[in-house]
Chain A
Amino acid sequence: GNSVTQMEGPVTLSEEAFLTINCTYTATGYPSLFWYVQYPGEGLQLLLKATKADDKGSNKGFEATYRKETTSFHLEKGSVQVSDSAVYFCALTLYNTDKLIFGTGTRLQVFP
């Protein structure tokens, strides 16, 4: 079936460290891929997306590249800040459907 697998957290980093959160997927057809972020007590906000192979999504210093050959969409940021502390969800939608399939989320904690 269709699914998203994320690395388990929490990921704990010092400010200005490099961040990678791994995400791999299993899907039939050609999915679109998303990263959402959830700050404490809030809903989800779209962070970035990619709709086809080799696309790179980017926003607020975060990047992720749609890798069809490795079925991956890893999230990276070169220098994290305390304000980046949140839960990050990788998700996909399948072609011609509106339903999002989520990973379990990865909590990021950044300390000064």
Chain B
Amino acid sequence: DGGITQSPKYLFRKEGQNVTLSCEQNLNHDAMYWYRQDPGQGLRLIYYSQIVNDFQKGDIAEGYSVSREKKESFPLTVTSAQKNPTAFYLCASSIPRGISNQPQHFGDGTRLSIL
């Protein structure tokens, strides 16, 4: 079955460390996204990529970085510059809207906590 795999499910970071969250999809989708979810809030867009080797900042990109070297992979690095990284991180993918009106598909998320 096709889907989106996020790993690890739980991640702990020490102060001053960078950590990388993995997101892999086998849906053959061109577009991929990273969201942050905080308690009682909706999802906020961190970064998105519509095609390999290209990505754009979302609404809350500061303190995060991404790469898109392969179509199926879109890893997110939470850097030490992100002062409040504790959150639930969700990765999604979709067929770009210009091709068809398809919704985004989500992974099961990674919960990041600060030690």
Contacts and interface: CB of A to CB of B under 8 A. Distances in A.
Interface residues of B, number: 26
B45 interface: yes
Contacts of B114: none
A45 B42 contact: no
A6 to B, nearest CB: 8
Contact of B97 (A43, A46, A97, A105): A97
Contacts of B103: 34, 46, 49
A43 B90 contact: yes
A17 interface: no
Nearest to B4: A43
Nearest to B94: A98
Contact of A96 (B4, B6, B45, B97): B97
B101 A103 contact: no
A87 B39 CA distance: 11
B96 A43 contact: no
B97 A89 contact: no
Interface in A1-54: 4, 32, 34, 36, 41-46, 49, 51
A102 interface: yes
Contact of B42 (A32, A49, A89, A93): A89
Given A43-B106, A44-B90, A98 B45 contact: no
Given A34-B103, A46-B103, A104-B40, A99 B94 contact: no
Interface of A: 4, 32, 34, 36, 41-46, 49, 51, 89, 93, 95-100, 102-105
